[in-house]
Chains A and B, each alone.
Chain A
Amino acid sequence: MNIFVCIKQVPDTETKITPKADGSFIETTSIKWIMNPYDEFAVEQALLTKQANSGSTVTVVRVGGVKDTEALRTALAMGADEAILVEGDDNLDSFMTAKAIKGAIEKSGKTPDVVFTGKQAIDDDCLQVPQLVAQMMDLPHVSVVVECNEEGGKYTLKREIEGGAMEVYEVNAPVVIACNKGLNTPRYASLPGIMKAKRKPLTQHSLADVGVSEDDRRVKYSGFQLPPEKPAGKKFDAMEEANQASIVADVVKLLREEAKVI
């Protein structure tokens, strides 16, 4: 089975984001980068699928900056077999990213049986790449997947919708599966895994190599700025039981008359 996983490298969730002075993007120099948290579930699902289907290979694909290939090395250390990096700017749009992924998969010469992705990248929060990859490669997709069972190339997938409801899909490979939290418990990279990862193949392409140019840009971002700070709120001390009723009554009154939300 040819198993592909798409991963993105994103700023650590604790990172303070600072817009560039000209608002063209964010400052990326002193950021700690991590693998997009949802992509960890995708890598784990790829490895589980490989374990269940002997003779399979897991190829990780990332589109992004070259400075730091940490996320790819992490995936290799977790157990992926090979990695492909498409060198691109940090501020590509979803269309360019998806097209680059498609190009990289095609260039690998392997026909995918399944492509795993995270349901969303936590930097641009666009939620577009899995669906775009599927559409561009003429594959079916299921997103926000919280349960994945595969048998003989037939997948039963649970997708989370509103109010905790689930849609259960049945689909034959090849398919694009966008993974959500709860799907599995991602393994840690072991020390031997990290050592082995260093010798695993990492192929590098430029955007041009995979057929992507600036003409493919569909969405342009600019004017990055911090959200406006809210004015300080009102705070009430209600630790003493004696005050509680009157404080709560005051807050309810404010919600009604000042904030007008109830």
Chain B
Amino acid sequence: MAKVLVLAEISGDTVKSVTYEILGKLTGHDVDVAAVGEVPAAAVTELAKYGAANVHSIKGLDNYSPEGYTNALKEFIGSNYDFVFGGATSLGKDLLPRLAGAFEAGLASDVTNFVMDGDNFSGTRPMFSGKCLAKVEISGPKPHFVSIRPNALGMPEAPTAGAGATNEVTGNAGNIRAAIKEIIKGASEKLDLTEANIIVSGGRAMKSAENFKILEELADVLGATVGASRAAVDSGYAAPSMQVGQTGKTVAPTLYIACGISGAIQHLAGMRTSKVIVAINTDADAPIFTKADYGIVGDLFQIVPILKDELKKVLG
């Protein structure tokens, strides 16, 4: 049986849900979790519920830095694990390639599904912006690294609990040349698009930044994050960090609501792995309707407020 380490990201008491998604998929394997920094007791309990045998917290590193985390984790991982999994989050995407490089090992990145049969990993990942899927396998020295796209596996329904023994490790960051001087808070306290479970997106049809308010209001009812098409970003209606698509963010929510978005191929590239798509568009022939599970042919300025009120009623 493979020895697996799952790297978790924890802020406050909250563990990123992609960690639980990975743990759920690894039920039946020998799985530990490691996080840089403090792991609060509540998180340990939760991680154990999803199968963590040991929960290691790596202390002594302040801010994130790719070099510092790589050095400390390399030392910790050593030859103890066959596989190291992490989320394809903004930290995971930055760190995991560097860490894999430090072991001269392979990394299968942004995997959306996988099977672990004994010591054999076989994954699926979208390529060419999701225009096709490919099977991915890893060879070369161990440990093998895998990053998982958030929301792609889904939350496990009946995970097998692990022991959840805690362990503290002193990490050695080594020489950090690229160091964080400052962190500038984002405008939004909501989940990032890449991790959001529900996304409400607006396109060129929104006509102004001001009008995005109606999407914000709908998003608030749903606990959703607001996204945008490139046309909306280029027209200055939405921030660049909100862009979904080939040159924006790749998202995998369970629900994507596209308002006044035509569904250009580059936009679809970023959101086609959404589980359920709702489109609101005045043009009954808009390409977005070919991808939508539920299409509403109508004026978004009329439909969105009604939708908000209806959801408020239903969701209480």
Contacts and interface: CB of A to CB of B under 8 A. Distances in A.
Contacts of A150: none
Nearest to B274: A261
Given A245-B306, A262-B315, A236 B239 contact: no
Interface string A47-88: 000000000000000000000000000000000000000000
Given A98-B101, A261-B254, A249 B180 contact: no
B28 interface: no
Contacts of B67: 140
A235 B282 contact: no
Nearest to A124: B127
A143 B93 CA distance: 9
Contacts of B183: 165-168
B297 to A, nearest CB: 5
A239 B315 CA distance: 26
A261 B97 contact: no
B184 A166 contact: yes
Contact of A181 (B91, B222, B247, B265): B247
Contacts of B134: 221-225
Contacts of A38: 247
Contact of B133 (A141, A146, A164, A227): A227
Nearest to B224: A262
Interface in B283-316: 284, 289-299, 302-303, 306-307, 310-311, 314-315
A135 B70 contact: yes
A37 to B, nearest CB: 5
Interface in A231-262: 232-239, 241, 244-245, 247-249, 251-252, 254-256, 259, 261-262
B210 interface: no
A191 interface: no
Which secondary structure dominates where chain A touches chain B?
A: mixed
B202 to A, nearest CB: 16
Contact of B139 (A122, A182, A217, A259): A217
Interface string B172-210: 000011111111111111111011001000000000000
Contacts of B90: 144, 160-162
Interface stretch (A1-9, A125-133, A200-208): A125-133
B296 to A, nearest CB: 5
Contacts, number: 286
B296 A26 contact: no
A211 interface: no
Contacts of A262: 198, 222, 255, 311, 314-315
A252 B127 contact: no
Contacts of B311: 252, 262
A94 interface: yes
A238 B293 contact: no
Given A218-B106, A244-B303, A225 B178 contact: no
B110 interface: yes
B107 interface: yes
B101 A136 contact: yes
Given A13-B265, A236-B297, A238-B303, A94 B188 contact: no
A167 B248 CA distance: 19
Interface string B230-244: 000000000111110
Interface in B61-87: 64, 66-67, 70
A226 B132 contact: yes
Contact of A171 (B110, B179, B191, B294): B179
Interface string B112-150: 000000000000011111111111111110000000000
A148 B238 CA distance: 22
B160 interface: no
B163 interface: no
Contact of A248 (B95, B132, B307): B307
A62 B194 CA distance: 29
B165 interface: no
Contact of B178 (A160, A171, A248): A171
A261 B289 contact: no
A220 interface: yes
Given A124-B127, A224-B133, A255 B181 contact: no
A175 interface: yes
A174 B308 CA distance: 52
A254 B294 contact: yes
Contacts of B29: none
Contacts of A144: 90, 93-94
Given A167-B180, A232-B290, 9 more contacts: A126-B110, A129-B97, A135-B97, A136-B101, A160-B90, A162-B89, A168-B180, A170-B179, A219-B108
Kindly list the 5 A-B residue pairs having the minimum CB-CB distance in the complex, ordered from nearest: A218-B106, A135-B101, A164-B186, A162-B192, A238-B298
Interface of B: 64, 66-67, 70, 88-91, 93-95, 97-98, 100-102, 104-110, 125-140, 176-192, 194-195, 198, 222, 239-243, 246-248, 250, 254-255, 265-266, 269, 272, 275-278, 282, 284, 289-299, 302-303, 306-307, 310-311, 314-315
